[in-house]
A and B are shown apart, each in its own frame.
Chain A
Amino acid sequence: MDVDWGPLWLTMQLAGVTVIVLLLVGTPVAWWLAFTKSRIRTMVEAIVALPIVLPPTVLGFYLLVALGPHGAIGGFWKELTGSSLSFTFTGLVIASSFYSLPFVVQPLHGAFESVGKMPLEAAWSLRASKFDAFLTVASPMAIRGFLSAIVLGFAHTLGEFGVVLMVGGNIPGVTKVLSIAIYDHVEVLEYTQAHILSAVLLLLCFAILTIVYTVNRRLPIHVS
């Protein structure tokens, strides 16, 4: 019996790259949400939370349009690089980043909010610049938020199905991720392969979450 492990590897890559992108984009957004007094804050919060409630096919449909050669993102990309975004790995990363955005931003937002302004003011008074204070005070204090963000973002991207199907199609080695591979196996009644891949995904997610909860408990952060 042959099990194609390609989709598993691709899924891992996709989840990994997506988490990195989301940390770079989501951290400033979460920071802004935690500390701004701007009136558009609630609107931004709602936009960030949209992917949680939106059916993946709806999100996927809009992303398909946007990433296409005539779409806002895809058109820009085509002008920049000359190649299309639809049905590519890069396109998948962009789509997954939208899809998993709330799972990274929300834990960080909560963590930054609970750190609050007080330790930051203390750091500034000790000659730390704003960025220095973010790196050396806010980030270590929000370490559990970062951990949750990384894990939830990663795990949520692992399980992505609808959006990938809409945006990425099903190209082996390029956009064929684990969840789609499982779906394919079931379609053609290859239950053994479907079982194996499903079990791998299940165990993987369970293991990640167990490790996270264990580490989270032992992290040396104490707030008096």
Chain B
Amino acid sequence: MSILTAQLDLRYPAFSLQVDLEIPLRGVTAVFGPSGCGKTTLLRCVSGLERAPNGVVRLDQTVWQDDKMGTFVPLSSRPVGYVFQEPRLFPHLSVQSNLEYGRKRVPAVRHRITIDAIVELLGLKRLLDRRPHKLSGGEQQRVAIGRALLTSPELLLMDEPLSSLDVQRKREIVPFIQRLNTELSIPIIYVSHSLQEILQLATTLIIMKEGRVMRLGPLSEVCTQLDARYFMEGRHMGAVIDTVVESHDTEFGLTTLGFSGRHLFVPHQEQSIGEGLRVQILSRDVSIITSPPDFHSSVLNVLEATVTGIGTIHADHPFVDIQLDVGVPLLATITRKSLVALDLHPGQRVYAQIKAVSFRQEYEM
């Protein structure tokens, strides 16, 4: 696994970026934050499109920028692919030529991806002879992704690649990005201000605010921290769990998902047994009981849990967030009244009742 090091300090009157990062490049690293938080600038500095004075950018031991040593490798010599917010296809070239543009400029010995593979992966076959202006926005963005991948980059940078597309087009492209990661194993840094995209795609999450990095860690950890509410919109807050489909129950129309030796029963899913499925359990859909569920309940999913943390209590707010461990971190939002009634404290054994499980295809975009 590669590590990307970025030490950047950029100051403008209305904007600043101050980061000192070591990003483990595994899967999709999502950079999340509101507009103007510096996430695009971070990406531009990593790529070499922008140069922060006295900055350091390194991929493992390869130095891309180190101003103390006087090193600055221009973007054209960095092994990165860049997918911009807009497709930026070359209007005077066909789709085929757009795809070949970068590939032709990389020595053949470094080619790791064939045009055929990209055409297949991104579904571009019937577009090859067309001019970019004849394509829909989603098709253009797919070509732009393919064009970047065909340089066989060691790192793919994506700057809000879906933000200029409508909901339909987003749904069309998200699966392609998921496949990129699993089939080509090129690490991706994915900048977005859409939590929905990130919950679907991210392995690692970086949260930025006002030019600084607030959180960096595995998605499942960052989004179940007790202060997650400050960074994520409350209605989307909750655990994200990567599960595996274990069995289908045709009689009742249920599917069993497994993770960390636990099981979740959910309505029937299309995935076949053994396939992975990412689910989200919103904190507002988790309730806590302190005694074993020996009574009859309509709630199917009750997991043994340990209380690992209790969120800050605000006198003017009726709710409090509870962090639980069910093999993976889980977050529950309960009332302060319940907190007192149950007398919860860290280390306590409890049971988490899960009222609903959301699936990535159901996430609102």
Q: Contact residues of A with B, CB < 8 Å?
A: 118-119, 121-130, 132, 136-137, 140-141, 143, 220-224
Contact = CB atoms under 8 A, between A and B. Distances in A.
B319 interface: no
B35 to A, nearest CB: 19
A125 B91 contact: no
Given A118-B86, A223-B91, A224-B91, A124 B131 contact: no
Contacts of A140: 90, 92
Interface stretch (B100-108, B243-251, B321-329, B341-349): B100-108
A119 to B, nearest CB: 6
A125 B106 contact: no
Residues of B in contact with A, size category: 20 to 34
A128 B82 contact: no
Interface string B85-104: 01011111000000001100
B282 interface: no
A129 B90 CA distance: 16
Interface stretch (B72-80, B166-174, B304-312): B72-80
Contact of A125 (B81, B89, B131, B132): B81
A122 B82 contact: yes
Given A222-B133, A224-B132, A126 B105 contact: yes
A140 B92 CA distance: 7
Q: Report which residue of B47, B76, B89, B132 has the largest number of chain A beta carbons within 10 angstroms of its beta carbon.
A: B76
B151 interface: yes
B91 A124 contact: no
Contact of B105 (A119, A127, A130): A127
Most interface-central of A118, A119, A224 (chain B CB within 10 A): A224
A125 B105 contact: no
A119 B132 contact: no
A25 B49 CA distance: 28
Contacts of A123: 90, 101
Interface residues of A: mostly helix, strand, loop or mixed? Answer: helix
Contacts of B86: 118
25 contacts: A118-B84, A121-B49, A121-B75, A121-B82, A122-B88, A123-B90, A124-B49, A125-B75, A126-B101, A126-B102, A126-B148, A127-B76, A128-B105, A140-B90, A141-B90, A141-B92, A220-B92, A220-B131, A221-B92, A222-B92, A222-B133, A223-B91, A224-B89, A224-B133, A224-B140
Given A119-B90, A137-B90, A222-B133, A127 B84 contact: no
Contacts of A141: 90-92
A124 B133 contact: no
A126 B147 contact: yes
Contacts of B106: 127
Contacts of A143: 92
Nearest to A116: B88
Contacts of B132: 222, 224
B268 to A, nearest CB: 42
A221 B82 contact: no
A124 B75 contact: yes
Contact of B84 (A122, A128, A136, A222): A122
A122 B105 CA distance: 13
Of the candidates B47, B81, B102, the one having the most CB atoms from chain A within 10 angstroms of its own CB is B102
Contacts of B49: 121, 124-125
A79 B114 CA distance: 60
In the A-B complex, the 6 residue pairs with the smallest Cβ-Cβ separation, listed nearest first, are: A126-B102, A125-B82, A127-B105, A224-B133, A122-B88, A222-B133
A172 B133 CA distance: 54
A114 to B, nearest CB: 12
Contacts of B101: 123, 126, 128, 136
B81 A221 contact: no
A214 to B, nearest CB: 19
B89 to A, nearest CB: 8
Given A222-B131, A222-B132, A224-B132, A125 B90 contact: no
Interface in B229-255: none
